[in-house]
Amino acid sequence: MRALEYAMSLAQESNSTLIVLHVIEPFPLRHAEGETVLSDFTLLKDYIAAAEEEGRALLAKAIPDAVRSYCQVETVQAVGKPYREILRLAATEASDLIVLGVHGRNPVDLLFFGSTAQHVVRGAACPVLTIRT
């Protein structure tokens, strides 16, 4: 939320378009050992539909109406790996800046899994502003 607040203030100051992205990351269909986690495609579609509905509600609540009076706001939802979807949208829209919230994570977690922010910073064609939560 801190990153969104910062992005909204930057959009106000620069009289620019603010694109707010919500990415739904589907869970894996199988464990590494081959045990099925989700065998019914309908369940996955239901999960994504519910996540999209929740995302719409969160985006509507997070962006005050007053913000829309001083800048154009677009809300976008995507399904996939967050860093890939952030980079894809930034490239498609020829974004001037990506504003991203970052969570404090421990070194072991980062070593094995990496982070969305790391991937975005490394792959972005535009500047990336990271805001610690």
- Residue 121 clears pLDDT 60, i.e. is over it: yes
- Residue 45 clears pLDDT 80, i.e. is over it: yes
Q: Where are the domains of the chain?
A: 2-132
For residues 117 and 69, give the distance between their C-alpha atoms in angstroms, rounded to a whole number.
30
67-99, pLDDT tens digit by residue?
A: 888 889 999 999 999 999 999 999 999 999 999
Q: What is the pTM of this model?
A: 0.81
3-13, pLDDT tens digit by residue?
A: 999 999 999 89
Sign of the Cα pseudo-torsion (8, 3, 81, 125, in order):
positive
Task: Report, at the CATH architecture level, how domain 2-132 is classified.
Answer: 3-Layer(aba) Sandwich (3.40)
Q: What is the rounded average pLDDT for all residues in the chain?
A: 85
Distances (CA, A) of 47 to 17, 40, 79, 128: 30, 11, 11, 31
